[in-house]
Amino acid sequence: FKSRSERDKFVRDITEKAKFDGIDSISVSKEDQYLLKKIKELCGETDPLDAIRFFLEHGPKNDVSVNDALIKFHEHREKLLLALDTYRHDRNILGRFEGSYGTHLLHTITHNQIQNWLDLLPYDNPTTVHNYRKTVKTFLSWCVKQEYIAKNPCDLLTIAKKKPQEVTILPPETIA
């Protein structure tokens, strides 16, 4: 596997298949035989069921809430010595996000929920909404790096286009 995330995804997939089809189904198809071979490469001679149990006990940190992740994210950002205005601005935006989704587990947040949250912001200016999106995306990208979530739901968001401003041409006599 090229990365730990790729390995973890593989183990999750085989775990789900075993849960859904039963462990006997793993040894039936050629595809599953290939998967078992990969498991043996990862686990040596360990029984696949033991590997699955191990994954379930020590797998990705799926029980991290938005609140808990934000506390750690802010601690991380404080160490970066960002400009005070930047830090306050990000903290304000993420505080609003936390107000809506703070108790949710990170892995349950979908791009649709984030899109709806952005759509309900009381701002008409697309630049402001873009800044909110960018800040939340930064936070969730950090969560991916911490392996709290497998992928960033913000990657699937649609970007609001700026509304073209109407240009009015003033007659020369009004300029004077």
pTM, rounded to two decimals: 0.59
pLDDT tens-digit readout, 14-67: 777 776 665 554 444 566 666 667 767 776 766 767 767 776 666 556 678 999
Q: With a cut of 80, say whether residue 113 has pLDDT above it.
A: yes
**Cα–Cα distance measured from residue 3 to residue 59, given in angstroms and rounded to the nearest whole number:** 14
Nearest alpha-carbon partner for 154 in 167, 171, 169, 136: 136
More confident residue, 12 or 30: 12
Decide which of 83 and 31 is more confident. Answer: 83
In angstroms, the Cα distances linking 84 to 7, 26, 46, 89, 96 are 39, 55, 52, 8, 18
